Amino acid sequence: MKLAVFLPELLRHLFKKPATVDYPFKKLAVPVNFRGTPYLNPERCIVCRACERDCPAEAIEISSVNEAEKRFKMIIHNDRCVHCAQCVDSCPTTPKAMLMDSLFELADDDRHKLKKDWVYVRAVLKPKAAAPATPPPAAEPKA
């Protein structure tokens, strides 16, 4: 048993820089795959509603604006979003229509201002993507 074992460590830290950063003026970079805020790339969305179905927080809302024109509206309620990125995982298109950005400073004075919406025409699957879907039925009878 000695006295004041912690003292050398304390004294050493007198000559060190603080471990914290001066936050609002200096910001730490977020990692590459950071789960920030979800957003939609409307040109790619095929309105399969997989994201709406899988969202645990019911933060995604897709509604039809014009049935004939195949025009849809997606609202992301960022006030409800839990930033789990399940919508990105559920999105079946390649490249993905649902994506996450690295924004994390989302605070606002009104929760309704956090809503984000997109009105867009449903994307059609490219013939390229449809092509590999047809051969398998033809291949099955052979086997």
Partner 1 sequence: MSFQIPIGPQHPALKEPISLRMTVEGEVITDVDMRLGYNHRGMEKLAEEKSWLQNIYVTERICGICSHSHATCYVQGVEKLMELAPPRRGLYIRYLVAELERVHSHLLWLGVAGHEAGFDSFFMYTWRDREIVMDLLEMISGNRVHYAINTLGGVRRDIDEGQKAKILEGVATLRKRSEYYFYIGANEPSFVARIAGVGYLSKESAIALCAVGPVARASGVARDVRKDDPCAVYGELDFELATADTCDVLGRVVVRVKELLESYKLIEQMVKGLPAGDIAVKAPRKAKPGEVVSRYEAPRGENIHYIKANGTDKPERLKVRAPTLANYPATVEMLRKGFIADIPLIFAAIDPCICCAERTVTLVAAGSGEESVVRMSDLRRRAIARHQNAPVKRNAVWPL
Measured from the CB atom, the residue of 9 and 43 that comes closer to partner 1 is 9
Residues that bind partner 1 (CB under 8 A): 1-6, 9-10, 19, 30-31, 33-35, 53-57, 82-86, 89, 100, 112
Closest approach of partner 1 to the CB of residue 23, in Å: 14
Q: How many CB atoms lie within 10 A of CB 99?
A: 17
Measured from the CB atom, the residue of 55 and 74 that comes closer to partner 1 is 55
Measured from the CB atom, the residue of 30 and 129 that comes closer to partner 1 is 30
Measured CA angle at 32 (ends 59, 36), to 5 deg: 20
DSSP 85: -
CB 115 within 8 A of CB 75: yes
Measured from the CB atom, the residue of 4 and 138 that comes closer to partner 1 is 4
Tell me, what amino acid is at 23?
A: Y
Would you call the peptide bond into 95 cis, given omega within 30 degrees of 0 as the criterion? yes
Selection from 79, 80, 62 nearest residue 71 by Cα? 62
Q: How many CB atoms lie within 10 A of CB 137?
A: 8
Tokens of 100: 């996450």
Closest approach of partner 1 to the CB of residue 120, in Å: 26
Measured from the CB atom, the residue of 34 and 118 that comes closer to partner 1 is 34
Closest approach of partner 1 to the CB of residue 71, in Å: 27
Closest approach of partner 1 to the CB of residue 60, in Å: 12
Closest approach of partner 1 to the CB of residue 105, in Å: 15
